[in-house]
Amino acid sequence: MSLSHKRSSLPEENLMRRTSSFHSAVTLFELPTPKPTDDDAETECPPRRSKRLRTVVRPSSMDDAPANGGAAGMSLDMNEMRGAEARRSSRRHDMNDGGEVIASTSSRTLRSPGLSTSRKRQRDQDVLSPLKKPKATPQSSESAPSAPARWREAYDRIKGMRSRIVAPVDTMGAGAAQLGETVPKNQRFATLVSLMLSSQTKDEVTSAAVRKLREAVGGSLSAEAILAAEDKVISEAICKVGFWRRKTDYIKRTAKRLQYDYSGDIPKTVDELCSLPGVGPKMSILALHVGWKINAGVGVDVHVHRITNRLGWHTPPTKTPEATRLNLQAWLPEDLRPTFTGLLVGFGQTICLPVNPRCDACDLNDGLCPSGSGTTPRSVDDISATTNHGSPSGPLVVIELQS
C-alpha cells in the first residue's frame, strides 16, 4: 500500500511525526500501532495441527484393559482398532495355501535378523482387536459342475498304484508332525505348524524343520512354548523352509491367538482356522482331518491342482488351487475326501511329476489320461518304490519291473 493511500485513509492528526535522524529538514510520518479488538481475535488463524501421529499406550493383554475405558492414554478406541484391522487386512498376504501366494519381502527386510517393529506391533494388535465373526469360506463352485466321465476308474487306478509306492507325504507329511507329541492339544498344534511350514517347501525340509523347532522350544510344540521362545530361536530352527521370516511372524501371531481365544488348542471349523494369520482353506481342511477327524472338505495343493487338470476333471480347466477345491467339493463323494489329498500328493511326488512325468510307468497312460504321452505303458503290477530320505536333492524313486 502506498504512503499517499495510508495518509488519505487516516486523519493527519492521528499520524505520528518525528524528525529524520539523517536530515533535520525531513519529517517522517508513522502509523500508530493498532490495538487488538474482539473482531481481530475471531478472524485470527487457528493454530496449525501437528502431523505427528498420536501414540496410544495399549495394555499388554486383554486382562490389563480397563473395564470402563480408563485414562485417555489407555483407552481402546473401537473405531481406531477397526481401522487398524482394515489396514492390516489390506497388507496381509497369506501363504501359498491352495493358491495363496506369500508376499515377497524387500531386500532390507531380508538382511534384518529379526522382525520389524511394525510386525511386532501388528502381532500385539491381533489380541487387542475385538473378536469378530470369521468370514465364511466357500464350500463349492457356484456353477455346480457334474462329475467327469470315468473319474472313478482313474481314481481306483491311482489308488492301486499308490498302494505299492511309499511317497514322502506318507512318512513326512502333516500327519507325521503329531507323532512327536503325547498331549492331544499339542498334537493338533504341531499339525497346524507343520502345515504352515509346508507351504512352498518339500516334505523332507518341512519334517526336519518341525523336529528342529520342537527341540528349540523345549521338546514339545505348543502355543505356550512358541510364545515363550524368542523370534530368533524360531527363525533359526525353520530357516531352511521357504519364506521362513514371514512364517516366523505367522506362527508367533497364530500361537498368541490360539492361546488367548482357544486355550492353546486349534478351533474346529474352517472359518475359524482361516481367520488365523497365514492359514488358508487347504491348511484348515487338512488340520481338521488330521487333528479333529472332521471331514470338512478337500485339501488342494499344487499336486492335486495339477493332476486333476491333467486328467481333464475340470471344464474349463481351473487356474488356481482354490478354484480346483470348489469344483472337487461339488461332486467328489464325502467319504473319499479325507484321504483324497494324500493319495494324489503321493502320486504327484512319485509318478505324475510337475516336469517330465513318468507316463511310461503310469496305469492311466492307456487313454484314460488325456495328458498322457501316448507311449505304450509298461506293466506296473509289480512296481516297488523306495525313497532316499538322505538325498539332499529330494526323494529318489526307484521303479523295478519284474517279468
Task: Establish whether the linkage from the previous residue to 316 is cis, with ω within 30° of 0.
Answer: yes
CB 162 within 8 A of CB 346: yes
Sign, Cα dihedral of 290, 296, 301, 306: positive
Active site residue 133: no
Q: How far apart are the first and last CA of the chain?
A: 112
Q: Which of 193, 200, 174 is nearest to 101 (CA)?
A: 200
With b for 16 or more beta-carbon neighbours within 10 A and e for fewer, the 366-400 pattern comes to eebbeebeeeebeebeebebebeeeeeeebebebe
Within 10 Å of residue 217's Cβ, how many Cβ atoms? 19
User: Under a CB-based contact definition with an 8 Å cutoff, are residues 136 and 167 in contact?
Assistant: no
Q: Between the CA of residue 178 and those of 143, 172, 224, 290, what are the distances in Å?
A: 38, 11, 17, 9
The Cα 318–Cα 316 span in angstroms is 6
Catalytic site residue from 202, 282, 293, 319 = 282
C-alpha cell at 116: 520389524
The maximal CA–CA distance of the chain, rounded, in angstroms, is 131
Number of Cβ atoms within 10 Å of the Cβ of 195: 28
Rg of the chain over CA atoms, in angstroms?
A: 34
C-alpha cell, 311: 486328467
Please check whether residue 207 is in contact with residue 281, taking contact to mean a CB–CB distance below 8 angstroms: no
Active site residues: 282
